[in-house]
Amino acid sequence: MTLTWDPMTGSLDLATLRRAFDGGLTPTALINAVYDRIEARGEDHVWITLFPREEVLARAADLEAKGRSDDQPFWGLPFGVKDNFVMKGVPAYSAVKAWKHIPQETSCTIQKLQDLGAIALGTQNMDQLGMGLVGVRTDFGIPASVFDKDYISGGSSSGAGVSVGAGLVSFAAANDAAGSGRVPPALNAIVGYKPTPGLVPRAGKSPAGMCGSDNMLTLSVADAVELHNAWFTWDPSDPNSKPEAEAFRITLAPIPAAFRFAIPDQQSIFFDGDAEAEKLFRHSVEVLKSLGGEAVEVDVSDYLTVARMLYEGVFIAQRHANFHQRFDQDPSALHPATAEILSWGAKWTATEVFKQMYIVNAAKQNFRKLLKEVDFLVTPTTPTTYTIARLEADNIRLNANMGSYTNFVNLLDLPAISVPAGRRPDGLSLGTMLIGGTLEDEKICRFGHALQSAMNLPVGITGTRPSEMI
């Protein structure tokens, strides 16, 4: 093994591992190292099905025997799979033990990653059915923040966020309907880029993922861009797929010398009383200003109203449509909060659906108008964070708070990216989110990359900084 990469603390970002492979690190040595890390962490409730070490080592040895090639750009890179993707022959639950089934196919996303040389370590914990932003609504134990075992990890991609933040995988396949691919990155000091809905295919997934966007949780914006560039595809079998995806690619060119961005005004910004969270957000704004930006305060209350509608309004009926047959058989099989929220989906009438769709369409027009004045909107990823105990005592209300800035993004057909904003004095991580116009993914990734580079904060718990990932 190369001496320039430490088996217990070395970063798993793409550039670092490729340098290590160039220096003599092998996929089998890497897999042994990450399994040692997993064992050292003990029971952290990240994994639902962790594949046996020997099974994964066999996959690594096969890659070694064939050698690196241009058609396998992710050769040897370990990754995690959120439990609402499916893998042939691997038990799938969507974090509901009673809903266990054995898939007969592998999700197109996971198959493609493996075809491109990446090595799956197993399926990862989540909020049941992808319904939650906190990581506590699961039958498989509660993953905690990598920074404090008493605090939530964020959800629904809880296992994914913890695994990347803890340095157990290079990236994790996840998805995002309300913020599931952005909230866990914020709380674990990593990156969550959520593409414009329809840019990545969603065929071959369990029904749990029928809303929103799939995405990858990564250590850097550069890694997110590379992974998604390999994934953008128009898939006619996916009714939500956009034809633009076929030729869609992102480049991380330098940002312009001057730009304008919107931030919530004092009347509409919300931190749930967390003064330290506000300080971190204000610092991110100042860094963007130092890069040439002009901040413009705007009223975001219309977007916050739409955010509440995702679960508290008619759009929960979409989740009910996906799951009602199984749910109606035995609601008690679900976490009480999941069951209660899902039950709300049956109460809405078609008239009420259309009324709220008009509100959403008005907010879309509002956002289009805003983008004539600014390049993108910047918000906190979450207003704050909570202890697991406090969250469990007030599950539905506090979960809704966590989605204040994330829930509306998919409903408005927008892309967003969360980058680390720093850590509060108690050591807990929060994020800053950039939201762009439909198909303006390149713009927010370029500015997100510039912000992450300028902040140069340690990523996850390994201590590696973006300046070291080049």
Catalytic annotation, residues: 82, 156, 180
C-beta separation of 5 from 20 below 8 A? yes
In b/e form, how buried is each residue of 82-110, taking b as 16+ CB within 10 angstroms? bbbbbbeebebbbbbeebeeebeebbbbb
| Residues contacting residue 215 through CB under 8 Å, at least 6 positions apart | 174, 175, 176, 181, 192, 193, 194, 195, 200, 224, 228
The string of DSSP codes covering 39-68 is: HHH---S-EEEEPPHHHHHHHHHHHHHH--
Residue 152 main-chain phi, psi, to 5 deg:
-65, 155
Burial class (CB in 10 A: 0-12, 13-18, 19+), 116: middle
C-beta separation of 134 from 155 below 8 A? yes
- How many whole angstroms separate alpha carbon 213 and alpha carbon 104? 23
Q: 58-61: long-range contacts at Cβ-Cβ below 8 A with a sequence spacing of 24 or more? A: 59/119, 60/26, 60/27, 60/28, 60/30, 60/31, 60/119, 61/27, 61/28
SS3 125: coil
| Residues contacting residue 342 through CB under 8 Å, at least 6 positions apart | 129, 131, 316, 319, 320, 323, 327, 331, 334
Helix (H) or strand (E) holding 343: helix 336-344
Q: Which of 293, 128, 116 is nearest to 216 (CA)?
A: 116
